[in-house]
Chain A
Amino acid sequence: MKKMVLLFLLFIWVGLASNSNLIKASLFSWIVELLERDNPYVQIYIDSKEYQDIPKYVKKYHFTRNCLDADLLFVDTIKDLPKECIYGHKVFVTKYIDFVQNRDKVVGAFFLQKGRPTLIFNKRLLKYFGIVLPPKYDKYID
């Protein structure tokens, strides 16, 4: 019975969640898996209007309000982020322009454009953090 109720709630949840939110959530999980696959206690910081709903859909990670504690940071703009949170942290931005202009600070950009999810990894910072992505994801590296 419990399973049935859960299944029912899942259907309701899937029904209510829009396509773009589900895409975002699944990609978000995918990014975390790629970058922090060896870290079972990954902490994530989100300061983004674009991604503020992610915690509702992704429950398996720990979300923190303190950027210093975070392993991964998702921010709309890097300007508002304290300097000590930038360096040594894997920062993701949600605008392509931020990615282009802060190639020495952000590890990648992740956003929806024209309804399509767009994910770009910064080659230099990936190397800096010693992250090696499987070859099939090469096309996402810029």
Chain B
Amino acid sequence: MRYVGLKKYLYFLILIFIMFLLTAFLYIKFDQVLQTTSDEFQNLKVHEIEHNALSISRILRFLVGDLSSSSGDILKILRKNDLLRHTIDTLLSAFINDENRYVYIVYEDKGHNFRYLADGSMDKKERGFFGQKFFPLQEKKWQKAFNLDRTTIFMQESIDNLWITMLAPLHIFKNIKSFLVIDLSTMAYKNVKSIFLKLKHFLKYLIIFFIAIFLLIATLYFFLYREYRRTFLDPLTGAYNREFLTQLEKNIDLQKYIVAMIDLDYFKLINDLYGHDVGDEMLKKIAKTIINTISYKDILIRYGGDEFLLLLQKDKKEDFKSFFDRLHRNINETALSLRDSSTLKTTSSIGINLMPNLEESLSDAIKKADMELYRAKNSGRNRFKFYETQDRKVGGYISFNKISQLVKEGNIELHFQPIYNFRTKQIDRYEALARLRDGDTLYLPHQFLIAIFQTNVYREFAKQVVRQAFEVIKKERVVISINFNKSDFLDEEYFKTIKELIERNKSYRQFLILELLENEELKIDDEKILDKIKYFQRIGCKIALDDFGSGYSNFNYFLTLEPDIIKLDGSLIRQLDTNPNAKKLIQSIVLFAKHIGIETIGECVEDEKTLQIMERLNIDGAQGYFIGKPMPYLQREPFEVFGRIDTDAA
């Protein structure tokens, strides 16, 4: 099932979920980030403290160095010298700020007690007196620091408002071991931490926000989904309804689908004989069978009472004939058990339009499929029929089985139409045109290609054409172009077949031109096709754009496809002599093409005058009945039919 229009909500939901996961991940990892930042900050502060300690010890050395060395006992000196004590206290107090909360010097006496030597605290309550015992809470760490006589830093966990304590040994007082102590307040750390905590709170609210948005969109999605089903799905069969078809018609890309109408044979009889309940059950079963047979990309619409419209994606590995064989068989085998233990089955008729992209709209494409359904019913029902274009009918009917047989037997003939080079005045390449021979009858491509399009027979046909073209290239060393539909390359199997053949003929790739027909639009964003076409270009083949200047061709192709050659549309070439605007248009195209290094060839050249104008317009090559008709052999000289003409006179 395809929920057109609902997908964006689903994508948004997924996006919100991903964002939620990311935010949640960040939130979970936040403590780790905080720890890392805190460690970094701690390192920074420690570095700062060490720097302070160094400065203090230098000044102290300057202040007491001589005194200490002369008398030998700093304690005695300090005990007697109030002024010196006051000077040291004042010095230490200069280093006290909001972050360095306490700065003081502690020494170890003979009894291994810690005592204040000096204290920079200005608050009387906090100030330690000279000689006063000092009782650290983490005594073992202090002892270790004194024993090792090296800088030690540790976190304060049980003292309010203190974060880190640093002990830096002062090697300036003889006979006593003293340490400069700096207690760092939690203020700085708290400031950093509070910023992070605010961020963490923000993340928390963001998570809540995402959850709320997620729930909101999920609820919205649920209601829309319910509404969608109510509006666009047929409640009985679960297939789409006509309302969906109306919506679909606006934006469907017909190039990607084939259209089939399925009708259950004599279904009215089931309703009449067994009642509508049984009829409904049967319809449900059949719809289920069809849904199980098609892929999720395909679209099944209940078109009428017992009529279904099937839009089948073209990119299937299975060929369409086999697919419809299977679908037809599955429908016919669907059985409904009745109350009397008997089973009820029905047959079906299917009309198929393989080329809906040739129609103006989906409605027209459906009409063609419906016409074919009508024909299938008129031919005795319980069958499927492929729609054939008017052109094909004029040329004579040829059945799928017949084409399949002819292709398998290798009755494909290549005819070559010469292309004249204005510069060399010679024929320098040919366009290969396939024909199907059935005894004396020769079928043209439009008479058989539609019927086999996207089938295994089509792939086999293409394979034989490319193989024959390479045989001629190898033998004659001539450049040959082969026609392809752009959408051919949507078919993976087809692409693989052609790719293998071209890759195998490594030395002759440069002689092969892939000529892309202009009967279907190639969307610029259809990168799948573009990539495949460009692949052939990369490995040495040339790419030509057919019928340029008409149909779906546009200048964007120059930029996206970057063709080597463009073949100017025959309808424009024919008007060269009579329509000045056609001439101007051709002139512009040629000028632009020359400018970006693309070769130009004019098609449908049927007279000498046109040829002369083309040469004057600086077109590189010409192709048409005037040069030479498609023949089963390579025509070496131009104008064989009309006799040699003096092109130099043009």
Binding site for B on A (CB under 8 A): 18-20, 23, 95-97, 100, 111, 113-120, 139-140, 142
Q: Is the CB of A19 within 8 A of B137?
A: no
- Min C-beta distance of B82 to chain A, whole Å: 15
Asked if A96 and B135 sit within 8 Å, CB to CB, the answer is no
A119 vs B134: C-alpha distance in the bound complex, in angstroms?
A: 9
Q: Let me know if B161 and A114 touch, CB within 8 A.
A: no
Q: Which residues on A sit within 8 Å (CB–CB) of B36?
A: none
Among residues of A, the one whose C-beta sits closest to the C-beta of B138 is A116
**Interface check B232, CB cutoff 8 A:** no
B269 an interface residue at 8 Å Cβ cutoff?
A: no
A138 to B, closest residue via Cβ = B111
Q: Which one, B102, B135, B156, contacts A118 given CB within 8 A? A: B135
Given contacts A19-B159, A19-B160, contact A114 B102 (CB under 8 A): yes
B135 A119 Cβ-Cβ under 8 A: yes
Q: Mark B113-124, 1 if CB is under 8 A from A, else 0.
A: 100000001000
How many positions in chain B have a CB within 8 Å of any CB in the partner chain?
22
A115 in contact with B135 (CB, 8 Å) = no
Q: Given the interface contacts A18-B160, A19-B159, A19-B160, does A114 sit within 8 Å of B132 by beta carbon?
A: no
> 11 pairs across A/B with beta carbons < 8 Å?
A19-B160, A95-B125, A96-B128, A96-B129, A114-B104, A115-B160, A115-B161, A118-B133, A118-B134, A139-B113, A142-B133
B residues whose Cβ falls under 8 Å from a Cβ of A: 102, 104, 111, 113, 121, 125-126, 128-129, 132-137, 156, 158-162, 183
**Which of B121, B129, B133 neighbours the largest number of chain A CB atoms within 10 Å of its CB?**
B133
Complex partner residue of A116 from B113, B132, B137, CB under 8 angstroms: B137
In the complex, are the beta carbons of A20 and B135 less than 8 A apart? no
A136 to chain B, nearest CB (A): 12
- Asked if B160 contacts A20 (CB within 8 A), the reply is yes
Q: How distant is B329 from chain A, measured CB to nearest CB, in Å?
A: 75
- 10 interchain residue pairs of minimum CB distance: A115-B159, A19-B160, A114-B102, A115-B162, A20-B160, A118-B135, A116-B137, A96-B132, A114-B126, A139-B113
Pairwise interchain contact B158-A19, C-beta atoms closer than 8 A: yes
Q: Tell me, rounded to whole Å, the shortest Cβ–Cβ distance linking B330 to chain A.
A: 70
Question: What's the A-B contact tally at a CB cutoff of 8 Å?
Answer: 49
Chain A CB within 10 Å — which of B121, B135, B162 has the most?
B135
Residues of A within 8 Å of B161, CB to CB, are 115
| Residues on the B chain within 8 Å of A142, using CB | 133
In the complex, which residue of chain A has the Cβ closest to the Cβ of B137?
A116
Measured CB to CB, the nearest residue on chain A to B127 is A113
A20 contacts across to B, CB distance below 8 A:
160
Chain A contacts for B102, CB-based, 8 A: 114
Known: A19-B159, A139-B113. A113 touches B128 (CB 8 A): yes
Q: Which A residues lie within 8 Å of B126 (CB)?
A: 113-114
Complex CA distance for A45 and B126, rounded to whole angstroms: 25
Q: Which residue of A lies closest to B121 (CB)?
A: A114
User: A residues within 8 A CB of B113?
Assistant: 139
With the chains together, A31 CA to B414 CA distance in Å?
116
- Expressed in whole angstroms, the Cα–Cα distance for A5 and B113 within the complex equals 45
Q: A116-B136, A119-B135, A140-B133 are in contact. List 4 more A-B contacts (CB 8 A).
A: A18-B160, A114-B126, A115-B159, A116-B135
Residues of A within 8 A of B132 (CB): 96
Smallest Cβ-Cβ distance to B114: which chain A residue: A139
Q: DSSP class of A's interface residues: helix, strand, loop or mixed?
A: mixed
Q: What is the bound-complex CA distance between A113 and B162, given in angstroms? A: 12
- The smallest C-beta distance from B75 to any residue of chain A, in angstroms, reads 16
Which chain B residue has the least Cβ–Cβ distance from A23? B158
- Per the bound structure, the CA–CA distance linking A114 and B127 in Å amounts to 8
Whole-angstrom CA separation of A86 from B371 in the bound complex: 124
Partner pick for B125 among A18, A19, A113, A139, CB 8 A cutoff:
A113
Residues from chain A with a CB closer than 8 A to the CB of B128 are 96, 113-114
Q: Which residue of A lies closest to B159 (CB)?
A: A115
Q: Chain A residues near B104 (CB, 8 Å)? A: 114
| CA A70 to CA B483, docked complex, whole Å | 118
Q: List, in ascending order, chain B residues with CB within 8 A of A111's CB.
A: 125
CB distance from B102 to the nearest CB of A (A): 5
Given contacts A20-B160, A114-B183, A115-B161, contact A97 B129 (CB under 8 A): yes
Whole-angstrom distance between the Cβ of A21 and the nearest chain B Cβ: 10
Residues of B within 8 A of A116 (CB): 134-137, 159
Residues of chain B within 8 A of A115, CB atoms compared: 156, 159-162, 183
Chain B positions within 8 Å of A119 at CB level: 135
From A18, A96, A142, residue with most partner B Cβ within 10 Å? A96
B156 contact set on A, CB distance < 8 A: 115
| Distance between Cα atoms of A23 and B102 in the complex (Å) | 20
Measured CB to CB, the closest approach of chain B to A116, in angstroms, equals 6
A23 to B113, CA, bound (A): 21
Which residues of B lie under 8 Å from residue A19 when comparing CB positions?
158-160
A100 to chain B, nearest CB (A): 7
Q: How near does chain B come to A127, taking the closest CB pair, in angstroms?
A: 18
B486 vs chain A, min Cβ distance (A): 76
Q: Which B residue's beta carbon lies closest to that of A95?
A: B125
The answer for the CA separation of A10 and B230 in the assembled complex, in Å, is 62
Q: How far is the CA of A97 from the CA of B161 in the complex (A)?
A: 25
Q: How far is A114 from B128 in the complex, measured between Cα atoms in Å?
A: 9
Report the Cα distance A117→B593, complex, angstroms.
Answer: 94
- List of A residues within 8 angstroms of B162 by Cβ: 114-115
The smallest beta-carbon distance between B32 and chain A, in angstroms, is 27
CB distance from B409 to the nearest CB of A (A): 95
On whether the beta carbons of B160 and A120 are closer than 8 Å, the reply is no
Contacts of A97 in B (CB 8 A): 129
Q: Name which residue of chain A comes closest to B115, CB basis.
A: A142
A41 to B102, CA, bound (A): 41
Name B135's contact: one of A18, A95, A100, A117 (CB within 8 Å): A117
Question: Whole-angstrom distance between the alpha carbons of A113 and B102 in the complex?
Answer: 10
User: What are the residues of chain B within 8 A of A139 when measuring CB–CB?
Assistant: 111, 113, 133, 135
Q: How far is the CA of A100 from the CA of B116 in the complex (A)?
A: 14
Closest-CB distance, A137 to chain B (whole angstroms): 12
Instruction: Name, among A97, A116, A119, the residue most crowded by chain B CB atoms within 10 Å (CB to CB).
Output: A116
A120 to B183, CA, bound (A): 22
The closest CB in chain B to the CB of A50 belongs to B125
CB distance from A107 to the nearest CB of B (A): 16
Assembly CA distance A95 to B102 (angstroms): 18
B159 / chain A contacts, CB cutoff of 8 Å:
19, 114-116
User: Are A120 and B133 touching (Cβ within 8 A)?
Assistant: yes
- Kindly provide the distance from the CB of A140 to the nearest chain B CB, expressed in whole angstroms: 8
CA distance A85 to B344 in the complex (A): 117
How far does the alpha carbon of A20 sit from the alpha carbon of B162 in the complex, in Å?
12
Contacts A114-B102, A117-B135; A100 near B129 (Cβ below 8 A): yes
Nearest opposing residue in chain A for B101, CB measure: A114
The residue in chain B whose Cβ has the minimal distance to the Cβ of A139 is B113
Nearest A residue to B113 via CB reads A139
In the assembly, what is the distance between CA of A97 and CA of B130, in Å? 11
